[in-house]
């Protein structure tokens, strides 16, 4: 299949970004991001450390303290870390295993129902976890690039 997605510098996104997020940890372009430690007058995000805490995707890399744009809502090209089916809810993969070590996503269940059905915006309804987005394409094998709708799930 020919990839017809735009080819701009860095990771591609069609949607809304916060352009002045301060990095709480070093990150690379395409990294799944979670909320960082609160700081006065700043939006701080960090590299995700858990499958269930990612809420955005960094569009640029940097070190702690750098300002980078982060996609909070929109369509982003990411990498399936396991088999992903269109329509499944996905979260960040925090397990190594593909040749691309960032931007990996895996199917995650809805904690209220035990399925990957799209039901909630961001928080899963229990206050325990977030959902990164919904797969818009199948990823048949680890390493497949897929489009993911970040945020806005119901």
CA-angle at 145, arms to 141 and 150, nearest 5°: 115
CATH code of the domain made up of 13-72: 2.40.340
Q: Please give the average pLDDT of every successive group of 10 residues along the chain, which has 154 residues.
A: 48 67 90 86 87 84 92 86 86 66 68 51 53 86 86 61
**Domain segments of the chain as ranges:** 13-72
Would you say how long the chain is, in residues? 154
pTM > 0.85:
no
């Amino acid at each position: 299949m020919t990839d017809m997605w735009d080819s701009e510098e860095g990771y591609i996104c069609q949607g809304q970004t916060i352009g002045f997020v301060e990095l709480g940890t070093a990150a690379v372009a395409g990294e799944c991001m979670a909320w960082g430690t609160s700081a006065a007058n700043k939006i701080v995000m960090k590299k995700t450390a858990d499958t269930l805490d990612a809420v955005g995707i960094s569009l640029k890399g940097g070190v702690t303290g750098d300002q980078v744009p982060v996609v909070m809502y929109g369509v982003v090209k990411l990498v399936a870390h396991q088999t992903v089916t269109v329509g499944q809810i996905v979260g960040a993969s925090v397990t190594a295993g593909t040749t691309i070590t960032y931007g990996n996503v895996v199917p995650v269940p809805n904690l209220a129902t035990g399925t990957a059905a799209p039901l909630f915006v961001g928080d899963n309804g229990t206050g325990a976890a977030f959902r990164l987005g919904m797969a818009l394409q199948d990823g048949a094998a680890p390493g497949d690039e897929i489009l993911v709708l970040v945020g806005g799930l119901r």
